[in-house]
Amino acid sequence: MKSLKAIILAGGPGTRLRPLTCTRPKLLMPIANRALLDWTFERLSWAGVSEVVLAVNYMAESLRRYFGRERYGIKVKYSLEPKAMGTGGPIKLSQKLIKLEEDETLLIMNGDIWCDLEFSVLEAAHKRNVGRGAVTTITLYEVKDVSRFGVVELKPDGRIAAFHEKPSGKVKSRLINAGIYASTSQIFSYIEPRRTSMELEVFPRLASENRLYGFQHKGEWGDVGKFEDYLKVNFKVAEALAGEKPRIEGSAEYNSTVKLVPPVILGDGVRLGSGSRIGPNAILGRNVKVGENCQISNSVVFDGVEMEDGCLVKGSILGEEVFVGREAKITGGSVVGDLSIIAPKVKISRKVYVCPRKEVNKPALGPKRIV
Ligand code: GTP
């Protein structure tokens, strides 16, 4: 089998996921207890990808340390841009690290996507389009609300007739740019070696030359841009992995008074106190310790969190090694940064975002940031 190469945009600051991205790049955020980018690497390896360039910028060192020179049998290279260069500039800069034969396919993608696309199927579709003059084939996904995305108008033969980035008015299509492309090496000649936008400059030009095609993905897809998306993707994956039975990764300690309501994922070394109710939609990381009579639902709890008795966590995210005091309540889309402490009986609710290493001693009703 011929090998494939890929460029992954991995350098964004992930501002919408702060405070969790204050201490990790977005691509290392856990999805069902596994880094987001690990899911992608695994799928790339299944498609026979032999080499990936990570286009890095924000927290580049963390990514370099985590992925090293090889992951899932894929050689990993890093292209560090001197300053932010939009979505196109980093791709152009990565060109020098990638050697492509004329007929070889290059995969290019945003790193903050979770999906079950088979990259080899995209490659095959792209190869057919190349025969008809395509430079790039964009993966498309159908959504109800297109306003946050790049919307694509497709011709019956699969060519993209028009590309509207984040449209404010009415558009006829519900197919959006899913952030994953297959391309020939000609793509590099369409990108300027400066700050360039693929969505606003490169794709409209390719479309006007009839060299941009679409490929619709009909499986699962989600971009991890905002906390709502992050939770949604986690719950989707939990449902797929765990289904009706709790998924226990390694060993977990709890007795028969604990109620696990699926989907539930318990990381290795989790300990749950008597009378606690976990789920639905609860993902607990490694070595999470939960006291007695706690309730956790619709939430993601990162590794090493500790919770005393009688706590409630609902629709929220707790970062690594957060400590939650007795009978505290964290609800309504709140997010607690790594190593923070929520004092006993404190209630935080409605999108309260707590920065890393903070101590919260008073109740807080959001939306607000505790910095
Ligand atoms: P926000 O700050 O919350 O908008 O997030 P972001 O900028 O990290 O992500 P965005 O959704 O805008 O970007 C989509 C993908 O492109 C993500 O995988 C980012 O890591 C990546 N990305 C965004 N900006 C840059 C950049 O300047 N350089 C590189 N190399 N990657 C980028």
| Region for 268 from its dihedrals, namely left if φ exceeds 0, alpha if ψ lies in -120 to 50, beta otherwise | beta
Write down the pLDDT at residue 139.
97
**Ligand 1: distance of its center to the CA of 224 in Å?**
11
CB environment 90-129: b (16+ within 10 A), e (fewer)? bbbbbbebbebeeeebbbbbbbbbbbebebeebbebbeeb
pLDDT at site 348: 97
pLDDT reported for residue 242 = 86
What are 224-269's pLDDT values in tens digits? 999 999 999 999 999 999 888 999 999 999 999 999 999 999 999 9
SS3 261: coil
**How far apart (Å, rounded) are the C-alpha atoms in residues 81 and 209?**
29
Atom of ligand 1 nearest to the CA of 113: 18
Query: Is the Cβ atom of 111 under 6 angstroms away from ligand 1?
Result: yes
Is the Cβ–Cβ distance between 345 and 363 less than 8 Å?
A: no
9 lines ligand 1 (CB under 6 A): yes
Q: At a CB cut-off of 8 Å and minimum separation 6, what does 80 contact?
A: 56, 57, 60
| Residues of the chain falling short of pLDDT 50 | 1
3-class DSSP state for residue 227?
Answer: helix
Which ligand 1 atom lies nearest to the CA of residue 55? 30
d(CA 8, CA 25): 14
| The pLDDT value given to residue 165 | 83
Cα–Cα dist 352/360, whole Å: 11
SS3 at position 167: coil
Residue closest by Cα to atom 10 of ligand 1 = 12
Tell me the pTM. Answer: 0.94
* pLDDT score, position 2: 62
Report d(CA 164, CA 23) in Å as an integer: 34
pLDDT in tens, 113-170: 999 999 999 999 999 999 999 999 999 999 998 888 889 999 999 999 988 888 787 7
In short, whether 26's Cβ falls inside 6 Å of ligand 1 is: yes
The protein residue whose alpha carbon is closest to atom 31 in ligand 1 is 11
Mutate to test the pocket of ligand 1, among 16, 26, 39 (most ligand atoms within 8 A of CB): 26
pLDDT of residue 112: 96
Ligand 1 pocket check for 332: Cβ under 6 Å: no
For Cα atoms 330, 29, 87, give the angle at the middle one, nearest 5 degrees.
125
Structure tokens at 365: 């009703």
Which ligand 1 atom lies nearest to the CA of residue 223?
A: 11
